[in-house]
Structure 1
């Protein structure tokens, strides 16, 4: 059995009560923040084409992608009991659903700008957004390579393929959090929004760090594994 297999099939520790409650708390925070942003956007803009962009982006990244990462980092209380291969299946199904919503969101904002004859990529939010979506697409494409890494081993080492998928995934998720923050910061400009924006930023940074922490802790061993082979 290779070092990569050992990393994937390592014995799983039981999730303690405190860890489980923290897991539930973070997922609840993401759900609550997502609900607030979506309700706020709908309330401010109404149900128009533009509204679907932030709504699907929020659902795609904060809800679906967060859960997809937690599933594969073996840090999700709902899938903790699943085997490694079962978690892979759950991961790509949730990830594919997230990507579908994200692409629809991009199509909506692109069409909306065309309808109102507005220029594209004129704000920091939009520039971060296009980079985020591009990395997300690349991560999904490399995810296919990582899933079938054994069959593609003559073209690319499985360990390298999986490492690239992890790096792309971490990068795209981190950029997504930043892009979302830039987005609502751009929309909400009144003085009364200063406190709520600060609270949401703190909650998103904390939750995003929690989602990525286990993956980041395992990253050095995966890099070492690639270099040693």
Structure 2
């Protein structure tokens, strides 16, 4: 069986590509921004006032908060879960990603119901189209993760972990772009205007950059090394 990737090893820390303090500040800022955006959108939506009001709440909780935390918890610097063991973090990752799927599915149900009631067409905006692509990618990631829970199902665990990390990054970037497009909607622009609107649009960029740096500079090179060792050992 291929060696299990340990994101807390020294090789993972050396590959982050940032100075320690800058990395720590970026991760802490990403935690704060993801939580602040979720709270802000929830307050702005006034959940319970309409069917639509639950859509931004579910999506922000799932993709802005849970998905971000599900990735950043693997960082040993600036993470509130740094006291957890590797096994504990992996379990928490699964819980958070399951919440992403549940929140995403619930948010989709609310927006479909809302548009059906108001007799409005579906998937007529870039936000809707990109959001659907994000949900499909999230579902595929969940299936990939289930396979990792049962390594006997797959021929190469190391390769599947590499695909999981790569596709996970793509899914997160899709979610970030969908969130930015949501702030270009008539609903959001009708309430938030001026400088605050520009701030809201730019804020999701920092967590996206932190996650992209963490995955591309730490996980992917390590996965490549582990996979190469595993394949050379099987020759």
Match of 1:27 in 2: 31
Change beyond 3 A, Cα 1:69–1:6: closer
Q: Deviations over 1:6-42 (max 9, x none)?
A: 64562486xx777555533331222222222222232
Q: Deviations over 1:52-90 (max 9, x none)?
A: 111100000111111011123445522112221111111
**Deviates most, 187-196 or 199-208:** 187-196
Unaligned runs of 5+ in 2: 14-19
Match of 2:212 in 1: 212
Residue 96 of structure 1 deviates from its aligned partner by 0.6
Q: Deviations over 1:122-172 (max 9, x none)?
A: 1111000000000001111101112322x23xx330011111211221111
Aligned pair 1:36/2:40, yes or no? yes
**Deviates most, 65-74 or 125-134:** 65-74
CA distance in 1, matches of 2:181, 2:90: 32
- Kept after mapping to 2: 8 A contact 1:67/1:76: no
Change beyond 3 A, Cα 1:9–1:32: closer
- Kept after mapping to 2: 8 A contact 1:102/1:133: yes
What TM-score does the superposition give when structure 2 sets the normalisation length? 0.82
What TM-score does the superposition give when structure 1 sets the normalisation length? 0.84
Which has the larger share of helix?
A: 1
Match of 1:161 in 2: 160
- Kept after mapping to 1: 8 A contact 2:45/2:54: no
Match of 2:68 among 58, 61, 66: 66
- Kept after mapping to 1: 8 A contact 2:68/2:207: no
Question: Secondary structure, in 3 states, of the residue corresponding to 2:36?
Answer: helix
- Kept after mapping to 1: 8 A contact 2:52/2:110: yes
Instruction: Map 1:1-229 to 2 at 5 A.
Output: 2=2, 4-5=3-4, 7-8=6-7, 10-11=9-10, 20=24, 22-42=26-46, 47-75=49-77, 77-149=79-151, 151-152=152-153, 155-186=154-185, 187-189=187-189, 193-218=193-218, 219-226=220-227, 229=231
- Kept after mapping to 1: 8 A contact 2:8/2:76: no
Change beyond 3 A, Cα 1:29–1:6: closer
Q: Which has the higher contact order (CA 8 A, sep 6+)?
A: 2
Unaligned runs of 5+ in 1: none
CA distance in 1, matches of 2:37, 2:210: 15
**Deviates most, 194-203 or 61-70:** 194-203
RMSD: 2.6
Change beyond 3 A, Cα 1:196–1:156: farther
